[in-house]
């Protein structure tokens, strides 16, 4: 998909989320880790959602691998950009780092998605300097 083909809403990029979106544009998925309690969090914010510390939040590169934790197949959506892609999968993916993020599953038929399915991140360029993380079925690892 090229930038001119991307018709969905673009993310609102703020000061707190800019490092995340800048990394996505480079093809890296970041999560935050608290330097005080050591726990990971997602979505990006200016404080730790576990210990409430506002100090020492670190951006850490995620492995980009995870499992489908939950999902739904969207079969109708009247919003321009989205209505052209039905049916599509909206999923909650649990990353190896333990955080969960909402995303779309691409690269397979919606009926092939299952809870527990291994997935890996892929990026779609939505606009100049903006790439959106999606997930696709993980490649089988050779023995």
Q: Is the pLDDT of residue 136 over 60?
A: yes
Q: Is the pLDDT of residue 3 over 90?
A: no
For tokens 């969207």, what's the residue? 74
Task: Tell me the pLDDT tens digit for each residue of 36-70.
Answer: 999 999 999 999 999 999 989 999 999 999 999 99
d(CA 26, CA 4): 19
Q: Alpha carbon of 113 to those of 65, 92, 122, 142: distances in Å?
A: 15, 12, 16, 21
Mean pLDDT, rounded, of the chain: 94
pLDDT at 139: 84
Percent of the chain clearing pLDDT 70 (strictly above)? 94
Q: Is the pLDDT of residue 106 over 80?
A: yes
Q: Which residues contact 112 (CB under 8 A, 6 or more apart)?
A: 137
Q: How confident is the model over 114-130, as a mean pLDDT?
A: 97
Percent of the chain clearing pLDDT 90 (strictly above)? 87
| Among candidate residues 21, 19, 60, the one with its CA nearest the CA of residue 39 | 60
pTM of the model: 0.90
């Amino acid at each position: 998909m090229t930038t001119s083909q991307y018709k969905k809403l673009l993310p609102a990029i703020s000061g707190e989320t800019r490092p995340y979106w800048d990394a996505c544009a480079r093809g890296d998925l970041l999560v935050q880790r608290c330097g005080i309690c050591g726990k990971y969090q997602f979505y990006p914010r200016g404080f730790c959602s576990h210990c409430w510390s506002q100090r020492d939040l670190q951006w850490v590169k995620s492995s980009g691998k995870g499992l489908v934790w939950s999902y739904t197949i969207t079969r109708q959506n009247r919003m321009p950009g989205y209505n052209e892609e039905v049916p599509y999968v909206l999923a909650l993916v649990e990353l190896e780092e333990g955080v969960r993020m909402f995303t779309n599953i691409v690269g397979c038929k919606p009926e092939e998605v299952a809870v527990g399915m291994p997935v890996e991140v892929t990026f779609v360029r939505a606009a100049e300097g903006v790439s959106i993380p999606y997930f696709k079925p993980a490649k089988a690892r050779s023995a």
